[in-house]
Amino acid sequence: QVQLVESGGGLVQAGGSLRLSCAASGRTFSSWTMGWFRQAPGKEREFVAGIRWSDGWTNVADSVKGRFTISRDNAANTVYLQMNNLKPEDTAVYYCATRLVTIPTDYRAYNYWGQGTQVTVSS
């Protein structure tokens, strides 16, 4: 049973930073990928960044490129999302999700999801 547990969300002022963590368990993830998504009220779930467990290859959405960085710790089965220079429009519930091999940007392509962590950026 795959389990994903996010942590690290909170309230931060614009320009501040947060680091989200996603701890994965329940299988060997070497052939899997991990994606971070976010969903603001009334909006569709949006791709933020993804990473391949095997070689660390990443894909980052243009909307956060240069501010957000995704990384992983294979030994800890944990993926991180470092978010710098946060803006009020980054306010959302952030989710991690996992699937095999590829890193699609469509949230419907992912098989397993965490419960989400709230990020609120005040102006």
Res 81 pLDDT > 90: yes
Mean pLDDT lowest among 25-34, 75-84, 103-112:
25-34
E-only strand ranges, the chain: 3-7, 10-13, 18-25, 32-39, 46-52, 58-60, 68-73, 78-83, 92-100, 112-113, 117-122
Tens digit of each residue's pLDDT (9 = 90 or more) over 26-75: 988 888 999 999 999 999 999 999 999 999 999 999 999 999 999 999 99
The pLDDT of residue 120 is 98
The pLDDT of residue 28 is 82
Can you tell me the mean pLDDT for 98-116?
93
Can you tell me the mean pLDDT for 81-93?
98
